[in-house]
Structure 1
Amino acid sequence: MINIVHVKQNKARPLSSDLAVEIGDSILISGKQEAVPFIDNRRNQKLHILLISPIGTIIDSDQVRLEETGLRNIYSFPVTPDLYSGTYFLQIEGDYKRREKVNIRTNKHLIYRWILFYGVQLSNPNNFPLNNFVLDLMIPPSISPIQQVLNIESNYKPKKLITDNEGNRWLRFYFHQINPQEKITVAYKADLITRLVAYDITRIRGEEENLEKLYPEVFQKYTKPEPFLDSSNRDIVNVARKYSSHSPLSKVLAFLKYVKENLVYVPQDGDYGATYAIENKLGDCTEFSSLFVSLCRAANVPARLTTSIILSEYEGWVNHSQAEFFVNGVWFPIDPTLQHDFRYLYRSPSCIILQRGNTLGNSNIREVRFSYDDMNQHEISIHTHKEVKWDKGLVKGRKRISSKEHTEIKGSLFEEINWKFSFPSLDLDKQDKTIEIRVTAPDSAPIHKPFSIPVHLYNRNDEGLIGTLRVSFSRGGLYTNHLYPLVLEGNSHEPKMVEIPATNFLGTTFIEFIFQDDNGNKIGYEQKKVTFH
């Protein structure tokens, strides 16, 4: 028989599902050809060995000819700090098949629960009151499936929730008057979940025809130049033209490789954007993301920036620029600075997206927005604070912003806050319109063979809906997606035959059927469990 063992400090013992394999340990497969059942020794036999991550990505693959080994050690895999904690699957294919669970434990996790504290200190330095003061505080968006806001609490009751077309949200607070020398602290805390999600680029399929007709506003807005996103720059246009015959997804990968291969990461003292990046061949995360977005737009692939904070190993929470691109009716997240794998698109779960869209220059997409009577004549002092707390302690990142300068400050203002108002009552993520999805799926299916599933979508609203049916295999994260942009007429029934692609993975998995709008908001959902054998 083939043996799968856990090697720790040069000592081997049988691998079991309740045994944790840690950093520095190894997984070892050993055995001999004559001891392997169901193998015909007259043929040139191979074993195909796969190590599959908790989110379904293949992190290691090997083929072994048994005739050439005649050995004890067939395969070895070391556990390194870059792996995420969770249940991995060691799969052996061929005439001999076997699948084992491997419980790997590291300091990195697939899902994180955070508490984001955000607050501003308002101070009126004038000798007269400030009237009709309106304050907008950004709150993180819920972006399925990578980020979910569970609850928000604040110390003042907001007047309303403000949203824009990009999915950004602000809490609007109103103060009739701020007296001379008066100080007011307005704060909220958001409970949220972030997930590690990986998209297998080779398995993203969809219907690209008529996409521009389905989403004319998306193409009109996100394929044109903006400040710092100069997609009309001659050098950027020349690079994009080289890939004019490629599919949209192939263009995205080509532009990601171009940015990675042609820019050198150098921290900057400001935000300089795409033209600076392509002319000087350097920049930090802002330039990497700006150039990527500009290349996509020059090639008629909608793309936009996202602003986030990310947990750095050495600096704590820092500001970080990322991007999204629009393919087959879905916005896909991408990190042009930290993305190194060109098969799987990863987004780190140690990252909280704050805003979507261009925040550079004089953009209206700001974390803090305010107005009051006679703004041009009277000063207001505003200090902003951010902190993020998780289960392993408090990690802090703070910034001071005033109307005239940006400086760092010390100290926290959240310890004495009285959180009076809870936001589930505001229904932050409530959808006004929903659809029903009905799916007839088999309980089991053969491995390595595609099959089709009938899907029925029912729009019981009077108005029509435009969105995308996303069909995803799910195991912690996503590793394959089929995307179907659809127009659902009012009070209609839309049948759809959905192809489920051939998979490499033995065992049980979940298939998700999600109908979503162009900002990723779920409008309909269904899930089916299928066992592959």
Structure 2
Amino acid sequence: MTHSPPARWRRWPALLALLLLFAAAPPARGQFDETPEEAAEASSGIRLDEARTVRLKVGIIIRSTGGPLRGVYGTTPIPIEWPEQRVKIVDEEASRHVKRVRFRTLGKTMKQMEVTIPFVEKGGTAEAFVTLEVERHAILAPEQTDGFTIPAKVDRSLKPFLLASPFIETRNVKIRKVAEELAAGWSDETDWQKVESIYDWVREHVTYQDGPLKGAYQALKDGTGDCEELSSLFIALCRINDIPARTVWIPGHCYPEFYLEDAKGNGHWFPCQAAGDRAFGSMPEHRVILQKGDNFKVPHHKKRQRYVSEFLRVDAPGQHPPRVEFVRDVLPE
């Protein structure tokens, strides 16, 4: 399981620190990536399998309990398009309290819904929702893999996926030693097989065990970890060997992707299931992709974040903190 906020499908009460801030939130920056259109144009590396479509309702509910609220600002992540996922807004709802609902992209790998509420009277309830139609394909591995190679040179968009991220400790000497030993054992393998050897090593040396988030190094040291740890260790070992890799977040789970180029120099992201049934270069999942990446610069956090979670700020919270619910519901068909 994943320990990040997106793991929860159901409507759930959120315990939030209310920051008494008056400055407007600055523009967000995040990891760089290709646009969905660019990715789809060069998506021949993966093969799309059966698709499933769901309607997803995302939003925020704020109830004033002890007095009026002023200056409410909240954000919540929403899915975006990928070669294997299509997203369409089908409905938007907002109570009379809501001044503005807008959407912003962090880097090119995730999107937030921003909600601005100037005032909520005592006992009042403000809410804003967007309903999305999300079509998600499972992925089949390429039929031929010999032609895929590790990129000899990466452009700006890929550099973040070769560096350290929170809990992906590419500078750790123990992890680097394993990465170097794996590379030293390569001889006639194709680059696809080299990445696969990293994948198999992680699954052979780290046993799945549910628990608190502890990162790649601790998983290597303990020999145990859940989907976040197995994904993080695989990603770290790839990055140290100059293979771009990143985390994919879905409800209740995460898995890694790695990047190779075809014979024409076109780049492709390939998934693999670090925790669970073996799936390398393919992905049988139909759960909605919430975001991709693991090293985001988010305005209301001093430290970089591996996942962009929900956020709430109230300038004047009244006598008692409000009751807040962030919503991510799959609607019945």
* TM-score of the superposed pair, with normalisation by structure 1: 0.45
SS at 2:103's partner residue?
strand
Give the drift of 1:370: 3.1
Distance in 1 (CA, whole Å) between partners of 2:68 and 2:213 is 37
Are 1:118 and 2:64 matched, yes or no?
A: no
Offset at residue 380 of structure 1 (A):
4.1
Question: What amino acid maps onto 2:103 in structure 1?
Answer: L
Residue 351 of structure 1 aligns to a residue in which SS? coil
Alpha-carbon distance in 2 for matches of 1:364, 1:244: 27
The counterpart of 2:217, out of the listed 261, 272, 275, is 275
Q: Distance in 1 between matches of 2:146 and 2:277?
A: 18
The one-letter amino acid of 2:67's match is N
Which of 321, 326, 331 is the equivalent residue of 2:259? 326
Distance 1:149 1:283 in 2: 32
1:150 is matched with which residue?
A: 88
Correspondence 1:240 to 2:179: yes
Q: Which residue of 2 aligns with 1:346?
A: 282
Of Structure 1 and Structure 2, the greater strand share is in 1
Tell me which of 181, 186, 191 is aligned to 2:128: 186
Question: For residues 98-152 of structure 1, what are the alpha-carbon distances to aligned partners after superposition, in whole Å with 9 as ceiling and x for unaligned?
Answer: xxxxxxxxxxx92211112223221234434322x222221111111x1111334
Q: Which residue of 1 aligns with 2:327?
A: 385
Paired positions, count: 266
Measure, in 2, the Cα distance between the counterparts of 1:152 and 1:359.
30
1:12-23 to structure 2, matched below 5 A, reads none
Q: CA deviation at 1:191?
A: 0.8
Aligned CA distance change for structure 1 residues 381 and 359 (closer, same or farther; 3 Å): farther
The aligned counterpart of 1:255 is: 198
Please state whether the residue corresponding to 1:205 is helix, strand or coil.
Answer: coil
Q: Which residue of 2 aligns with 1:397?
A: none
Alignment of 1:76-95 (within 5 A): none
The question of whether the paired residues in 2 share the 8 Å contact of 1:304 and 1:324 is answered with: yes
Q: Tell which structure's C-alpha radius of gyration is larger.
A: 1
C-alpha distance in structure 1 between counterparts of 2:311 and 2:123, whole Å: 21
What residue is the counterpart of 1:177 in the other structure? 119
Q: 1:234 to 1:210 in 2, by over 3 A?
A: closer
**Do 1:166 and 1:356's aligned partners in 2 also have CA atoms closer than 8 Å?**
no
- Name the structure 1 match of 2:313: 371
**Residue type at the aligned position of 1:114:** V
Equivalent of residue 80 in structure 2, options 141, 147, 157:
141
Conserved 8 A contact 1:112-1:349 = no
String of CA shifts for 1:144-193, please: whole Å, max 9, x gaps: 1x111133422128532200214211122221223334322322221111
What is the letter of the counterpart of residue 143 of structure 1? W
Which runs of no fewer than 5 residues in structure 2 stay unpaired?
Answer: 1-45, 262-266, 297-302
Find the aligned partners of 2:126 and 2:82 in 1 and give their Cα distance: 32
TM-score (norm 2): 0.70
Aligned in 2, Cα 1:196/1:124: closer, same or farther, shift over 3 Å? Answer: same
Deviations 1:340-399 (A, max 9, x none): 145xx2212432110112279862842423334368x984432223322465xxxxxxxx
- 1:239–1:160 Cα change, 3 Å: same
Match of 1:155, SS state, is strand
Match of 2:209 in 1: 266
- Change in 2 beyond 3 A, CA 1:218/1:349: same
**Match in the other structure for 1:85:** none
**Cα contact 1:359–1:366 (8 A) shared by 2:** no
Moved more, 293-302 or 243-252: 243-252
SS in 2 for 1:277: helix
Equivalent pair of 2:234/2:274 in contact (CA under 8 Å): yes
SS of alignment partner, residue 279 of structure 1: helix
What are the equivalent positions in structure 2 for 1:356-367 lying under 5 Å apart? 356-358=292-294, 363=305, 365-367=307-309
1:355 to 281, 291, 294: 291
The 3 A distance-change label for structure 1 pair 283 and 207 is: closer
Partners of 1:217 and 1:110 in 2: CA distance: 30
RMSD over aligned Cα, in angstroms? 3.0
> Larger RCO: Structure 1 or Structure 2 (Cα < 8 Å, ≥ 6 residues apart)?
2
Distance 2:206 2:87 in 1: 35
Letter of the structure 2 residue corresponding to residue 261 of structure 1: E
Query: Among the aligned pairs, what percent are the same residue?
Result: 19
Shift of residue 288 of structure 1? 1.1
With over 3 angstroms needed to count, the CA separation of the structure-2 counterparts of 1:341 and 1:206, relative to structure 1, is closer
Q: CA deviation at 1:300?
A: 1.9
Contact 2:70 2:120 in 1 (8 A): yes
In structure 2, the residue matched to 1:199 is 141
Change (3 A) 1:206 1:237: same
Q: Which residue of 2 aligns with 1:300?
A: 242
